[in-house]
Structure 1
């Protein structure tokens, strides 16, 4: 299946927290969007890999994803090295996305920066014909996405552009709340974590409101770029 947009996320729920409004906006326009989670988030304070896979499936349904898969890399211990790059190249060549959305280039959690680097390097390397990969016993053609953008996560990064997600805010919230094991629940018996604080989801809304405010809308999601974006018409800029 060829995708228009592939989101690469270090952990299940990274995509939902960082760019699910953008995902929903593009799905609503008929684009095919998929997510590849690099790990099962097994080192997280709350939940289990099995629970998080079920939560991922529910979030995928809410967002209307065309595809989602989990690479099964080791949470916190995966690296941006040859073995991981080759596995991710297989996936990029499998889906042949025009655009890749990847983790924040730097963030509180070290996996986010590593995930950003791994995704960026794999996207470039995927276009090199002398790197040979196979899928289901068949050789894969080289493929390089046209653009790699990085969503902004916990730490504030000044965005290069912002997507208006106002019409899709409720979908974003619903996709986040699909990961109910991870967020505030007064009846939960599991240990508290950084994101299970009752203040965390209001922070996510505040960040989205801040991004929206900067482009004169209610809610927005910010992204950084790896190379300049070109336009032929100044009126394409909103």
Structure 2
């Protein structure tokens, strides 16, 4: 007995289509991983650069993300907002967000002041202290506060509200304050008075996830070819005519 190749057009076309799509999608995931690797390198470089001072006229630009900055002005103490479902280690808690008015202007920046633990009593907000008067704070520019899954409906945006997600434009509409379209994570060590923790998590670029997806797509392409080759032989007689 011998096995002889048998060309079957429909399985061949199907295997070819699957293999092509697998390779194309694998290449796309590899490109995403390369892009995010470059982005992560830029973030490290910007984080290591000397801080710049943000004045009222500065506008958002892509190379501002993750830059270390200084802000002079004062917090708008009447507009604290608590971002819920922000754990720190194994403990649940909040990020405290508060507008910061830039000195000599009516322009504000939304500052993530730090993390506070959830209180044992349901619905009770954790205590915190807001320093009064002119301040100089340092932080890192971020495009957003990070999104979490919405668990039910958030409370209307008001001073002291607990919300799942928050964007500067949302707070600008609710408060009437002029706000820059980015946020600043405050990075100066917390004092005993303000009780805030500022151990901000490093941004996850998801590079390993993209590489894993690329491997899966390439494996699918290889399996399609292998399946066609293995099933493309028919059993025949070893005798010759």
- TM-score, with length taken from structure 2: 0.22
Bigger share in helix: 1
- TM-score, with length taken from structure 1: 0.22
Bigger share in strand: 2
Q: Which has the larger radius of gyration?
A: 2
